[in-house]
């Protein structure tokens, strides 16, 4: 992990790489390291890995440039294909947060207003990155973090894991981003179908120039998804 990161500890390993925690110059950090894929030709693997890293860095930096909360990048190790970035604290994934509200582990009435606030802020954040031409590429409830203290403003939302992100103004890609998020929400939280509708209403209000075209593409993507389900 190099001399710059101290006390690194592996916390997760997936198909694309390993995630460590540690300290970088005295600051808590996350290290995302991509390892070689032996099933790919070495030259192709190296090129794809570098492209993924550049895409992730670009997605983070562009999101922060338009006022969206994302981890601060501390260091890029090109030899190990690793990115050292800020460890975001005092947050939960949206998946965990919604689950806690529905199980009434977060005391706020019946939780409806808390979840409506959360849906609206996610809608604002997604609309802002899309308006800036940023496609997240893996917009799931596990890659959106929410502050444990509030859900009432966009800064309470933090986007992570930009490994599949790219810069593209295609309404189709934005529609797919929304569809991925919709599927993540409805597959886990079918008891609150209004959550995504609240999110879309906020998205529409925020993304005034271009949002309608994205909505049209979202409907097309939904239709294709239903057809694949029926065929399968």
Q: Which of 172, 194, 182 is nearest to 139 (CA)?
A: 182
- The CATH number that domain 5-86 falls under is 3.30.200.20
Which amino acids are annotated catalytic?
138
Residues 6+ apart with CB under 8 A from 176: 135, 217, 221
Alpha-carbon gap, residue 31 to 73, rounded angstroms = 10
Q: Across residues 164-175, what is the average pLDDT? A: 93
Task: Tell me which fold the domain 91-231 belongs to.
Answer: Transferase(Phosphotransferase); domain 1 (1.10.510)
> Residue 231 — pLDDT band, cuts 50, 70, 90?
very low
Q: Across residues 98-117, what is the average pLDDT? A: 80
* Model pLDDT for residues 6-59, shown as the tens digit of each residue: 878 888 887 778 999 999 999 999 999 998 887 888 898 888 889 889 999 999
> Residue 142 — pLDDT band, cuts 50, 70, 90?
very high
- The yes-or-no verdict on residue 111 having pLDDT over 90 is no
Contacts by 188-197, CB closer than 8 A, 24 or more apart: 188/95, 188/98, 188/99, 188/141, 189/98, 189/99, 189/102, 191/102, 192/98, 192/102, 192/115, 195/98, 195/115, 195/119, 196/119
Domain boundaries, given as residue ranges, for the chain: 5-86, 91-231
Alpha-carbon gap, residue 151 to 149, rounded angstroms = 7
Alpha-carbon gap, residue 72 to 81, rounded angstroms = 17
Q: Which residue blocks in the chain are alpha helix, DSSP H? A: 42-65, 94-102, 112-131, 171-188, 194-206, 211-231
> Residue 232 — pLDDT band, cuts 50, 70, 90?
very low
CB atoms within 10 A of CB 149: 9
> Residue 159 — pLDDT band, cuts 50, 70, 90?
very high
């Amino acid at each position: 992990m190099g001399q710059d990161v101290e006390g690194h500890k592996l916390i997760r390993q997936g198909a694309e790489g390993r995630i460590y925690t540690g300290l970088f110059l005295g600051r808590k950090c996350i290290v995302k390291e991509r390892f070689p894929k032996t099933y790919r030709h070495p030259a192709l693997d190296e090129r794809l890995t570098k492209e993924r890293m550049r895409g992730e860095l670009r997605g983070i930096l562009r999101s922060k440039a338009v006022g969206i909360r994302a981890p601060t990048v501390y260091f890029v190790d090109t030899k190990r294909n690793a990115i050292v970035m800020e460890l975001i604290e005092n947050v939960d994934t949206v998946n965990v947060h919604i689950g806690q509200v529905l199980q009434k582990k977060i005391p706020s009435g019946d939780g409806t207003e808390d979840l409506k606030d959360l849906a609206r802020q996610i809608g604002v954040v997604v609309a802002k990155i899309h308006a800036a031409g940023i496609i997240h590429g893996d917009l799931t409830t596990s890659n959106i973090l929410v502050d444990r203290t509030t859900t009432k403003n966009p800064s309470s939302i933090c986007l992570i894991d930009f490994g599949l992100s790219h810069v593209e103004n295609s309404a189709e890609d934005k529609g797919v981003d929304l569809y991925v998020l919709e599927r993540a929400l409805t597959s886990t939280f079918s008891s609150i179908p209004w959550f995504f509708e609240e999110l879309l209403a906020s998205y529409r209000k925020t993304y005034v120039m271009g949002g309608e075209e994205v909505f049209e593409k979202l409907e097309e993507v939904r239709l294709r998804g239903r057809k694949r389900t029926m065929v399968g």
